[in-house]
Structure 1
Amino acid sequence: MGVNLQERQLFKMQRKTLEKRFSQHYEEMNDANYIIECALAVQVRNALTTEDFSFLAKDLIRQLFFTAEDLQATRHLCFFFRAYFTNEEWATVLGRLFKKPDEYLDLTQIYVPGVEKLQKFLSSGAREEEEDISIYAFFKDEAGKMQRWRLSKAESKLGSQEAFEIMHILSFLTILKKDGVRRFVKPLRSDFVTTYHVEKIGT
């Protein structure tokens, strides 16, 4: 039985356990592109919640960008990991991923402006929240059907536009599927919902 690293683990597991799961999954499957997509999903989790998942599995991610043989499937996501590298290291990474300058320039026009705007959320670390809040979001899936998604320990101080743009990052990922259908193709709307705990009195 393989090491499970899917949507439930990415958005439910505690940091220490999830980081260990990253290493175990890569050791078993040797799929660098899959791990990079998983790491980006966790950046989204960090941005939308009060939990600290900043730079999760940083050493592994750096290793993959420096040494993995084939990252063509995820090279367009490299910009989300710019903060993992020094300027000199970043030049090395780009040299490995892009053989032609035009390829790099084309992708920077698409991704870099958005990444720069959202980076502070993607690697923001832990925050405090006075209430127990969840995000209830709705996405259109690959088949055109509506999918509901819930994420607990939400960061309610995010603006609605910022939250929408962060959730849009999930549409870049190919690994989050149900019955072979990508779940997060297009974000539609989201709501922040406060959970109230009612104490039971008596028997």
Structure 2
Amino acid sequence: MLVQPLNQRQIFGMKRESLQKKVELFYQETQDAAAIIEYAIAVMIRNSLVIRDFSLLFTELIREIYLHTEPTDMLRRFCPLFEHYFDQGEWKQVKHRLFGNSKMYHKLNEILGLYKNYLQEKTTPLESLDGQQYKLISVFEDANSKLHTWNLRDADPKIATEKADAVLNLLTMLTIFRKAGVRRFVKVEKSDIVNCTRRALIAKKNELEELESVELTNQEIIDKLEAFFPENREALGKNDPTLGAVDEEKEGNIQEISEADHKTELRQFQEGEGPSEGRSDHRTIAVIDEPKSSTEKKTSLALTAYERDKTVFTKPKSKKQKDIERKEKMLKDTPYGRKKKPNSRKKRNRK
């Protein structure tokens, strides 16, 4: 299986675990130790600029290369940067394998000493950024003298300018990053760290918090109304799903009582009977009688008025009107009453 070299986006964008597996697989297939060393340097650069931890990545692979792989100029060139991967005894062995002359190593270590310190400095903890996100925006010149922009996300906003310049300059020493065969990082032109926190997410979060606050306020109002008017709890429940709905069986009983009550009143008015006992002769609103069973709960007047679809207003007939209607009805049932109608019309016509 042909494994492709890791590109710029993978080295600086993948998560730690995925990146480590990718690099290890690449080495298993290619045994390209020089490329692995440059990948490791690039990851060190990333670790020194971002707030997430990418330190000591693929440690065992680096140890194997420096302890057992045939020495090359690439291994010697960046050797001092990997000292913290080994203990003291192992590091002496590495220096002896790669450098016959200790002066050469010390000179190289002095040149890379500044980069070495910057690469091992700890960055700002993620928790101290309070959800803010930053990115490093840099402009580089490639091997054809063309400018291009490079962005690194999760950047540490508190990095000193001197450190950023030095670490980015170290990136120009790597040769693995190419596009169409042209080296990408040859010279640093400028760089800056900017806040890239998504404003849309912040606005959405604030909006949700405001909505939650309004909902809590409405619930408090409903609770207060329920405390003052406990009999209207079911009526409030129609607008608030947290409160109970009206019981279906009770609704059926109310409807049956209401229909029977209206029929009785209509029959009494048609027959000319007086108002039922306990009713007022003044203008009244028809209400539902209490259930006869002692086990049934008393229906609230306020709830009944809220639930009934229609309210019938009636004016009781006066005593004089009822007497007239009763006499007319009795007269219609006699032979005299039937014959009297045309005579009365004739009298009205004569007038």
Does structure 1 residue 66 correspond to structure 2 residue 64?
no
Provide the secondary structure at the position in 1 that maps to 2:78. helix
Match of 1:19 in 2: 20
Match of 1:2 in 2: 3
Offset of residue 103 of structure 1 = 2.9
Offset of residue 195 of structure 1 = 1.5
Give the whole-Å Cα distance in 1 for the aligned partners of 2:5 and 2:172.
Answer: 21
Match of 2:150 in 1: 149
Give the whole-Å Cα distance in 2 for the aligned partners of 1:110 and 1:91.
Answer: 19
Match of 2:120 in 1: 120
User: Quick check: 1:140–1:187 contact (8 Å CA) kept in 2?
Assistant: yes
Deviation track 1:158-179 (CA, whole Å, cap 9, x = no partner) reads: 0111111111110111101111
Match of 1:77 in 2: 78
Matches within 5 A, 1:21-170: 21-112=22-113, 114-121=114-121, 124=122, 127-128=125-126, 129-130=129-130, 131-170=132-171
User: Quick check: 1:139–1:184 contact (8 Å CA) kept in 2?
Assistant: yes
Provide the TM-score with structure 1 as the length reference. Answer: 0.90
Give the whole-Å Cα distance in 2 for the aligned partners of 1:163 and 1:52.
Answer: 17
Give the whole-Å Cα distance in 2 for the aligned partners of 1:147 and 1:74.
Answer: 29
Give the whole-Å Cα distance in 2 for the aligned partners of 1:87 and 1:73.
Answer: 22
Unaligned runs of 5+ in 2: 205-351
Offset of residue 116 of structure 1 = 4.0
Deviation track 1:49-89 (CA, whole Å, cap 9, x = no partner) reads: 11110000011111111011143223111111111111211
**Alignment-mate amino acid for residue 100 of structure 1:** N
Provide the secondary structure at the position in 1 that maps to 2:74. coil
Provide the secondary structure at the position in 2 that maps to 1:165. helix
Provide the secondary structure at the position in 2 that maps to 1:188. strand
Give the whole-Å Cα distance in 1 for the aligned partners of 2:95 and 2:7.
Answer: 28
Give the whole-Å Cα distance in 2 for the aligned partners of 1:134 and 1:44.
Answer: 14
**Alignment-mate amino acid for residue 120 of structure 2:** K
Offset of residue 139 of structure 1 = 1.4
Q: Report the count of equivalent residues.
A: 199
Offset of residue 102 of structure 1 = 4.0
**Alignment-mate amino acid for residue 25 of structure 2:** Q
Match of 1:172 in 2: 173
Match of 1:187 in 2: 188
When the two chains are superposed, the root-mean-square deviation of aligned CA atoms in Å is 2.0
Give the structure with the larger strand fraction: 1
Match of 2:346 in 1: none
Q: Which has the higher contact order (CA 8 A, sep 6+)?
A: 1
User: Quick check: 2:124–2:156 contact (8 Å CA) kept in 1?
Assistant: no
Deviation track 1:104-154 (CA, whole Å, cap 9, x = no partner) reads: 233233222x13431423xx3782133111110011222222121000011
- CA 1:3 to 1:125, structure 2 compared with 1: closer, same or farther past 3 Å? farther
Provide the secondary structure at the position in 1 that maps to 2:154. coil
Report sequence identity in percent.
Answer: 33
Provide the secondary structure at the position in 2 that maps to 1:190. strand
Give the whole-Å Cα distance in 1 for the aligned partners of 2:85 and 2:75.
Answer: 16
Provide the TM-score with structure 2 as the length reference. Answer: 0.53
After TM superposition, which residue ranges in structure 1, 4 or more long, deviate above 4 angstroms?
Answer: none
**Alignment-mate amino acid for residue 120 of structure 1:** Q
Provide the secondary structure at the position in 1 that maps to 2:137. strand
- CA 1:3 to 1:50, structure 2 compared with 1: closer, same or farther past 3 Å? same
Offset of residue 196 of structure 1 = 3.4
Provide the secondary structure at the position in 1 that maps to 2:73. coil
**Alignment-mate amino acid for residue 117 of structure 2:** K
User: Quick check: 2:138–2:150 contact (8 Å CA) kept in 1?
Assistant: yes
Provide the secondary structure at the position in 1 that maps to 2:188. strand
